[in-house]
Amino acid sequence: MSLKNIVSFGSYTPPAPQSFKVSYSDKIKDYDMENGDITRYTTRNALRQFDIQFSVSKSNAENIKTAVQTGGELTVIYNETQIYMYLTAYSETVVTISGKGIHSISITLKECRRAT
């Protein structure tokens, strides 16, 4: 799959990421029963986590930072599906290559699941 336009944050579509990894984790929900018992339901591989790395110019780095660090929930479009996610990790480093500063950005996003 091409990494071009694989993800967008709300209305902002960043340049193609350098790397993109999707991992899955279990969703666990506990229910209190009327007799006092607790029933646990586990849905395997229900929650997504995205690990994304970009190597971009300073202006694109500022746009990405603004898009993901809004605080609270992010609306992420992935494979034409709208997903609600939150930011769990953000790091940025600047590497100078041939006199130009390239910003290397690493982002980790986790999926939000609202109680139904």
Q: Is residue 54 part of a domain?
A: yes
Q: Is residue 38 part of a domain?
A: no
Q: Which domain holds residue 97?
A: 7-23+49-111
Q: Is residue 70 part of a domain?
A: yes
Counted domains in the chain: 1
C-alpha 114/C-alpha 116 separation (Å) is: 6
C-alpha 77/C-alpha 10 separation (Å) is: 7
The pTM score is 0.72
The predicted pLDDT at position 5 comes to: 65
The predicted pLDDT at position 45 comes to: 73
The predicted pLDDT at position 79 comes to: 78
Q: Is residue 34 part of a domain?
A: no
C-alpha 84/C-alpha 74 separation (Å) is: 6
The predicted pLDDT at position 98 comes to: 76
The predicted pLDDT at position 1 comes to: 46
Q: Could you list the mean pLDDT of each consecutive 10-residue stretch along the chain, which spans 116 residues?
A: 67 86 85 88 81 90 85 79 86 84 90 66
How far is CA 108 from each of CA 35, 36, 70, rounded to the nearest angstrom? 41, 38, 14
Q: Is residue 44 part of a domain?
A: no
The predicted pLDDT at position 105 comes to: 92
Q: Is residue 32 part of a domain?
A: no
Q: Is residue 15 part of a domain?
A: yes
Q: Is residue 29 part of a domain?
A: no
